[in-house]
Structure 1
Amino acid sequence: MAILLPRREFIRQATAASVMLGAPGPFIQTNGSAAEKVVVGIMGTNGRGEALAQGFAKLPGAEVGYICDVDERAVAKGLKAVQSGGQKKAPKTTGDFRQILDDKSIDALVIAAPDHWHAPAAILALKAGKNVYVEKPCSHNPREGEWLVQAAQKYKKVVQMGNQRRSWPKVVEAINMVKEGAIGRAYFAKAWYANTRVSIGHGKPAPVPAGFNFDLWQGPAPRREYRDNIHPYNWHWFWHWGTGELLNNGTHFIDLCRWGLEVDYPTEVNSVGGRYAFEDDWETPDTQLTNFAFANRKSISWEGRSCNGRNVEGISGGVDFYGEKGTMAIQGNGYTLYDNKNKELKKVSGDSNQITASGPGFDMDVDHFANFRDAIRTGIRPVSSIEDANKSVLLCQLGNIAHRVGHSLSCDPATGRIKNDPDAMKLWGREYDPAWQPVV
C-alpha cells in the first residue's frame, strides 16, 4: 500500500531525488520499493536519542521497531518519545543492541549512545546488513573514522551522520550563496559555541545504579570502575569515553565551515586552551581556541567556551564566512549577508522550534531523517555520507590531538594524516576491551 505524503514532504523528496541521483558515491544496496516503511532500532535514549526516537516515529514512511538502552530508565524515556511521535505500534525493547542486529525486520540502526560506541556499533551494524544513522561525532578517534568509511564501502549500506544542518533549508541556501560567490572568494570561516555548564566535582567510587548495565555501557572501552559523576552525561568530558566540546558541538559548526569553504584536509592545526573554569575531574578543555590552515589560502577557527555563555554576535553557536566582497553570517536556520563595509544586504530567518538539550525540534530534523529514509529506499546518496562527514569529524579530532600534545600538527592535505609526529600519532587510535575490538 502506497504511503501518501504531505505536499511539502513530496516536493522536498522530489527535489532531493533530482539532485542526488546524479551525485557520485559508492553503490548502495536498497531495501525495496519507495512505498515500503524503513524500520529502525534506536540505540541510546538518555538524551539525543529521545529526539531521534520521536522523530523517526513521526516521520512518514518510517517506524521505530526497537528502543534500546543499557539503562532501564532511558528505555522508558524512549518508549514515551515514540508514543509522543504518534506511532501507534509499540516498539520492542532491549538492553543489548545486538538483539536489533539479529532481527531481520530492522532496516537501520540509529546510534545515540556515548561517543566511544559510535563507530564500533556502526561497524557491527553494517556487518549485520543494517544501514546506520550515527549521531555526531561518527567516531571516538581518527582510526575509527577510517574503519567506518571502509566498512560503509565494503558492506554497501547507507551511513548518515547526524549533522542535520546539512539539511536545514536556509543553511543550504546560505552555503550555496557562499559557493556561488555572494561574498567573492571565501577564504576564512569562524565558528563558535558557548554554554554555561557547571562543575562536575570530584567523583567517588559508587555502586552501579540498579537497572544500569555499566559493563555493556563501557563496551569497547577498557574497563574502569564506576564513579558517581560519569553517567548519564558527564562522560563527554573524559577522554576515555568522550571527545569534549570540540566534537560534542564543534562538529556541527566546523562541518559548515568546511562545507562552505570547500576544503577537505588541513596542512596545519593548532589548539590552545584547557580546563579553566573549575578544578574538578573534567579532562577535556572547557575553553578552546583551534585553528585549521588549508593549502589553498583558506582557514577555519573555532572558539569553544563550555562554561561561559556570553554569546558571539547574539547567538550561542554559529558560523561566519569572510570573503573578498563581504561576509555571510549563519545563525540557526537563517543567515545575514553583508558587504565588505558591513552593510546588511540580505537577512533571512528560518522558522524552527527552539533548540533544546536533546537537539533541534522535529521541523529542523525532518529533512535529514527523510533524506536517510530515502537513501535506504531508493539508493540516492545521503546529504551527509560518511565519507564526507568523517572529514569534518577528523578536523575536530586533530584539534584535540594538537591540544593534548601541546604543539601544532603538520598534516598531509591529501589524507589528513599527521606527518612526522610519533607522539601525536599515538592518539590516532585507542586500545579496546578485547571482547569488543572493531574488525571491518
Structure 2
Amino acid sequence: MLDRRTMLTGAGAALGVAMSARSYAQIKGANDRLRVAVVGVNSRGMAHMSAFSKLPNVEITHFVDVDSQILAKRAAEFTAKGHPAPKTVGDYRRLLDSKAVDIVTIATPDHWHAKLTIDAMNSGHHVYCEKPIGIAPAEGEAMIAAQKRTGRQLQVGNQQRSSPETQQLRALVQAGELGDVYEAQTWYANNRKSIGTGQTVAPPAHLNWDLWQGPRPRGDYRSNLVPYNWHWFWKYGTGELCNNAMHELDVARWLMGLAYPTRVAVQGAKRFHAGDDWEMYDSLALELAYDKDRVIRWNGQSCNAMLTYGRGRGVLLLGTKGSAVVDRNGFELYDLAGKSIRQVMAKATSETTGTVGEGVLDVYHAGNLVDVIRGRASALASPIAEGHISTTLCHLGNIAYRTGSALTIDPSTGKPNGAEAMKLWSVAYEPGWEVKG
C-alpha cells in the first residue's frame, strides 16, 4: 500500500491530489490503532475532531476542555455523527496521567500551547499543536528543547504545508519556473465586529476560570473575554499576526527558502470600534527584510474584508521570470506581462477566513503526523523547528508594534537587538505554571 507522502509525489501524485478526505479515510491502515485526545473543543478544535476522525485506524477517545458546558455539547455532537462516545475530561493533567492516549491535539487559547505541548511530550505523547506555538518566542525555544529531549513527534498546525498544490508550486519555484523570487506579498482580510466593553464579573459556573488562565498570572474574569475575544488582549493573545499572518508568512518563507530576516518594520493602528476593549492593532502592514534585497510583506485588515486577487488571504510571489498567487485551494502562474499561463485548483477545498478553518488540508496534515508515527513517512510537514521560525516572525512584528520601532535582527537566532525588544522575548508566569523545556 502506498503511504500518503508517496501518493502525493512521483508516480502517485495524480492519485493523491484527486483523493477526497472520505476516500482517504477508507484506506486500510496498519493494525496499530492510534488514540487521540483533543484539548480545546471549541472553534478550531472542531476541525481537529473532523480531521483525525477521517484517518484510517485512528480513534478520537477523549475530549478535554475547562468549559463543562461546551465539553458536553461537543461530545453529544460527535456521538450523534456515529462516532464512539469520547471520554470527557475537565483537567488535562488527569488525561496525561493515563496511557490510553497516543496523540494529544491542542486547540486551546495561545497562552496554553507551549505548556500543554511540553507536558504532553513529557508524558510520552505525540502532539499536534495549533499555531502559534506559544505566546512569546522563548516558549518556542522551550518546545524545541523538550521535543529533542523526549523524542516525541510534534506537528505544528501550518496545514498548508501539506497541500499537494502548494507542494507542487514549491517544486516549480525550486526548479526556477519563476526565476529569482525576490518578493512575497501576503494578506488577510476580515470584517470582525466590536468586542464591546466587558465587565469584571464572576466567571460562569460551567467555566473553570483558574484553569483557563493556566500559565498566566491570575486576574479577574471579564464578561467579553471567553470564548474568542482573548485573541485581542496581550495577556492571553497574540493578535492577528500570530492568529492568521503566520499561515501566509510560513508559506512565503517556505517557498522562498528563507528563515529569519535582518530587519522587521511595521505600521499599524487600531482604526475600528473606538472605545471597545480590543487592545491591539486591527490594521497592520509588516515588512520582513532579508539579505540579497529580498522581502516578505503582510497586509492585515481585521475589520475591512476587501479581497486581494479575489481572495481573503493568500500569497503573491514575484520573480524575475514570472509570478504566482497561491492560497489553500490552489495556485495560478503568470508571465511577466501579468497574463495567466497556468492554474491548478484543489479537488477538495479548505475554509480560508472562518474561525474554524476546517478543510481537507487538516486531514492531509493530521495524516502526515500519523504516517510519521507509524514509520510510513520520513518527515513531518511542519516540525517544531520550522513552526518556531514562522511563529517568531509574527512575534517580532508584534514586538516592533509594541515598542514603536523597527527592529534589527540577528538572522542566525531571530533575536532582535535592543533591551526593550528583548523584554518581550519571554513572559511572566503564574508561580508553579512555568514553561520549561
Question: How far has the Cα of 1:245 moved from its partner?
Answer: 0.5
Counting aligned pairs with the same residue, the percent is: 40
Aligned pair in 2 of structure 1 residues 414, 202: CA closer, same or farther (>3 Å)? same
Structure 1: distance between partners of 2:419 and 2:284: 23
1:135 aligns with 2:135: no
The equivalences for 1:233-382 within 5 A come to: 233-279=228-274, 280-353=276-349, 355=351, 357-378=354-375, 380-382=378-380
Q: TM-score, normalised by structure 1?
A: 0.91
Question: How far has the Cα of 1:17 moved from its partner?
Answer: 9.8
Residue in 2 aligned with 1:27?
A: none
Residue in 2 aligned with 1:30?
A: none
1:423 aligns with 2:420: yes
Residue identity in the other structure for 1:264: A
Q: TM-score, normalised by structure 2?
A: 0.92
1:56 aligns with 2:52: yes
Residue in 2 aligned with 1:4?
A: none
Question: How far has the Cα of 1:195 moved from its partner?
Answer: 0.3
1:65 aligns with 2:61: yes
Structure 2: distance between partners of 1:37 and 1:79: 21
Structure 2: distance between partners of 1:289 and 1:255: 16
User: Counterpart of 1:157 in 2: which secondary structure?
Assistant: coil
1:177 aligns with 2:169: no
- 8 Å Cα contact 1:196/1:308 also seen in 2: yes
Residue identity in the other structure for 1:386: I
Question: How far has the Cα of 1:202 moved from its partner?
Answer: 1.4
Which 5+ residue runs of structure 2 have no aligned equivalent?
12-28
Residue in 2 aligned with 1:388?
A: 386
Question: How far has the Cα of 1:169 moved from its partner?
Answer: 1.1
Residue identity in the other structure for 2:363: V
Residue identity in the other structure for 1:112: A
CA offsets 1:319-362 (integer angstroms, 9 cap, x no match): 00001111110133211100111111101121334517353444
Structure 1: distance between partners of 2:7 and 2:348: 21
User: Counterpart of 2:292 in 1: which secondary structure?
Assistant: coil
Aligned pair in 2 of structure 1 residues 284, 380: CA closer, same or farther (>3 Å)? same
- 8 Å Cα contact 2:105/2:129 also seen in 1: yes
Q: Which moved more, 1:333-342 or 1:354-363?
A: 354-363
Aligned pair in 2 of structure 1 residues 118, 310: CA closer, same or farther (>3 Å)? same
Q: CA RMSD in A?
A: 1.9
The equivalences for 1:110-125 within 5 A come to: 110-125=105-120
User: Counterpart of 1:342 in 2: which secondary structure?
Assistant: coil
- 8 Å Cα contact 1:178/1:328 also seen in 2: no
Question: How far has the Cα of 1:80 moved from its partner?
Answer: 4.0
Structure 1: distance between partners of 2:368 and 2:10: 13
User: Counterpart of 2:285 in 1: which secondary structure?
Assistant: strand
Which 5+ residue runs of structure 1 have no aligned equivalent?
1-6, 20-32
1:187 aligns with 2:182: yes
Which of 401, 406, 413 is residue 403 of structure 1 equivalent to? 401
Aligned pair in 2 of structure 1 residues 338, 18: CA closer, same or farther (>3 Å)? closer
CA offsets 1:156-178 (integer angstroms, 9 cap, x no match): 01000111001111121112212
Residue identity in the other structure for 2:139: E
The equivalences for 1:204-219 within 5 A come to: 204-219=199-214
Residue identity in the other structure for 2:207: F
User: Counterpart of 1:434 in 2: which secondary structure?
Assistant: coil
Residue in 2 aligned with 1:103?
A: 98
Structure 2: distance between partners of 1:84 and 1:260: 41
- 8 Å Cα contact 1:55/1:85 also seen in 2: no
Question: How far has the Cα of 1:73 moved from its partner?
Answer: 2.2
Structure 2: distance between partners of 1:94 and 1:18: 43
Structure 2: distance between partners of 1:354 and 1:314: 16
